[in-house]
Structure formats: structure tokens, C-alpha cells
A and B are shown apart, each in its own frame.
Chain A
Amino acid sequence: MHVPDGFLDATTSTGTAAVAAAGVALALRGSRHELDERTAPMAGLTAVFVFAVQMMNFPVAFGTSGHLMGGALAAVLVGPWTAVLCLTVVLMVQALVFADGGLTALGTNVTLLGLVAIGVGYGVFRGLRAVLPATRTGLLASAGVGAFLSVPVAALVFVGLFGLGGVADVALGPVTAAMVGVHLLIGLGEAVITVAVLGAVLTVRPDLVRGGRHLLRARELAPRPDLAGATAVDAR
């Protein structure tokens, strides 16, 4: 969903650039506390993984494709502030080097794919994580729903911006329906990829999933099964 130059007028683009700059400034402060010994080496990997998988457009209905946005995935892996930095680097490289997403639209894209997608994806993830069981399945479900919702909400925010400062004079209703409709489908892909990648990392190195550290803490506090077994044998 990389917005090209020209869709939004200069005033709106300046506004989103200011929002993006403020968000990145906050992220530079916030990420300092996230970038500990485990998260710091993961930041680069998260960014390159999002960049690479964003190249993999998958087909959705009606001759249309979509790709991972990656905000929710990145936020669960390295924390929301570091995720904003990762997505900003990805979007900058895409806009400046690959002409993917406009230059005057860079602020818009950082706002939508960075701030909005991460805000929604991580917000929903945290909300669900608090109420679902503290298990691997609970964690993956929380992340999957967060990832799914982040895509149509980002599409909806684009429509809002388009309503404020869209250059073309077209009816907003059909644009909203089309954008949300197709991005609900793309959101399903977002959820599938997010859950698959997080599941894989949780299997190999659960301690490297920042959003899943509560699972490890719970496990550390649980009685060790071997001790419980030994006691049972002794009792017999």
C-alpha cells in the first residue's frame, strides 16, 4: 500500500510528514529501552526480513495483489518503537532507491505503514495478550488478529487522508468500500505470514520474541517436570 506522489495535495503531505517526523523522534527515544542485548541484534534482521517479504506480492481476488506490511510482526519481535525505526528505514530505502512509494509521500507512508499499522497491530496484540491465556497459541492468536486489523485500518486512514487532501475529485464512499474490501483480504495474508514467522521464531529462539517474554517468565516459575516426576517416583 505504498502511496505514490500526486495522490495527496501538498498540505496533506506536509501534515503527514510532520506526524511521521514526530513519531520517529518519539521512536528514537522509546527504542533505547527496547534495544537490550537480545533485541538489538534482532532489529536489523527484522528490518531486512520485512523488506524482503514486502517484495513478495501475493495474489488476492480480482487481479489484485497485496504484500506484507510487517508492522505488527516487527512490533511483536522487537517492540513497537524499534519497529517504527525498522519500518522507517525500509520505507526510506524503498522510496529513495527503488522509487516504490513517492518521495513527497514518504511521510504519508511512514504514517500509514509505520505509525498506524504498528499502533493498531501492537495495540490489539497487547489488548488480546492481556485477556487470552499466556500460551504460545494465545500469543500467536493475539499477533494474528493485530496483524489482520492493522491492514484495513491503515487503508481506512488513507481514505481519511484522501478525503482531506485527495487531488482527484471522486466520491469517497466507493473508494472507502474498495480500499477496505481489498485490504481485508490482504489483511488475511498479513495475519498468515505474521503467525507463521512468529511461530517459527518461537520454536527456535522464543527468547528473541520480545512480545513473548512473559511466556518464558511463566515457564521459569513453573515447577520443573523432572522434579515433579522424581517426587512421584520417590512417593511410590
Chain B
Amino acid sequence: MTRTRTFVLIGTVLALLIAGVGSWYASSAPDGLEATAEEQGFGSTARDSAAADSPLADYTASWIGDDRLSGGLAGVIGVLLVLALTSVLVLLVRRRPAADDAAPRADAPRR
């Protein structure tokens, strides 16, 4: 089990590096849908999302001046948020007793 924990930890650090550092080097060209929309004349029907005023909109930590730092921090916050939400969801799904195994599992409340 410890090995699995180590694996997950290393993988998460890798994801943090990709989102926090690697993303700076990502292409900023419009993606396939955006480019198609512009080219086919329906790009202008896109409306700003209600979340457009979010302090992290467009993967930019708006309170930080430096572009590189700002994008990296946004990526790191995103990874941590996704990790927290998925972990809680998995915990809830696993905790809910299945009809066919109502008996409590000995290994369930490990963390």
C-alpha cells in the first residue's frame, strides 16, 4: 500500500509541475473549436461565462502581476482543487454502503 501511496504522490507532484511550470510553454493559439468558430463565422456568438470575473479566470491569478507566476499559481490551485474534490467524491461513493455488501469493511476508515 505504501508503494501505491508513493506512486500517487509522485504522480501528483508531476501534475503540479505540468500545471505550475509546463503550462507556461503551452501553445496559446486558439483551440480546434475556437478556430473553427472564427473561421465559420459563429465565433461572435460566444458569450462571457458568468465566471469570467473569477479571480482565476483564464488560468490567471489576477492578483499577481508577473504573468508566468500568475499562470503557474493558477495551475497549482487548480490541481489542488481537483484533487480535493475528487478525493471527497471517491470517499463518499465508497462510504455509501452497497446493497450487496452491507457489512462494514475492515479497511474502510484508513484515512
Which residues of chain B are within 8 angstroms of A205 by Cβ–Cβ distance? Answer: 3-4, 7
| Contact A43–B15 (Cβ < 8 Å) | no
Of all chain A residues, the one with the shortest Cβ separation from B58 is A99
C-alpha spacing A217/B89, complex, angstroms: 30
Known: A85-B89, A170-B40, A178-B40. A97 touches B78 (CB 8 A): yes
Chain B 31-70, CB-CB to A under 8 Å as 1, else 0, gives: 1110111011110111111111010111100000000000
Assess whether A210 is interfacial by the CB under 8 Å rule. no
| Contact B79–A186 (Cβ < 8 Å) | no
C-alpha spacing A63/B54, complex, angstroms: 28
Known: A167-B45, A170-B40, A175-B36. A52 touches B29 (CB 8 A): no
Assess whether A226 is interfacial by the CB under 8 Å rule. no
Of all chain B residues, the one with the shortest Cβ separation from A3 is B33
C-alpha spacing A40/B8, complex, angstroms: 11
Assess whether A127 is interfacial by the CB under 8 Å rule. no
| Contact A66–B79 (Cβ < 8 Å) | no
Assess whether A126 is interfacial by the CB under 8 Å rule. no
| Contact A44–B46 (Cβ < 8 Å) | no
CB distance from B17 to the nearest CB of A (A): 8
Known: A97-B81, A182-B32. A89 touches B86 (CB 8 A): yes
Majority SS of interface residues in chain A? helix
| Contact B32–A45 (Cβ < 8 Å) | no
Chain A: interface residue total (CB-CB under 8 A):
72
C-alpha spacing A49/B1, complex, angstroms: 21
Which residues of chain A are within 8 angstroms of B46 by Cβ–Cβ distance? Answer: 4-7, 102
| Contact A64–B32 (Cβ < 8 Å) | yes
Which residues of chain A are within 8 angstroms of B1 by Cβ–Cβ distance? Answer: 37
Assess whether A156 is interfacial by the CB under 8 Å rule. no
Chain A 84-110, CB-CB to B under 8 Å as 1, else 0, gives: 011001101111111111110000000
Known: A52-B18, A155-B32, A208-B7. A35 touches B47 (CB 8 A): no
Interface residues of A in 197-229 (CB under 8 A from B): 204-205, 208
- Residues of B at under 8 Å CB distance from A? 1, 3-5, 7-8, 11-12, 14-16, 18-19, 22-23, 25-33, 35-37, 39-42, 44-52, 54, 56-59, 74-75, 77-79, 81-83, 85-87, 89-90, 93-94, 96, 98, 107
8 closest cross-chain pairs (CB), A and B: A168-B42, A6-B47, A65-B27, A52-B19, A99-B57, A52-B15, A52-B18, A55-B23
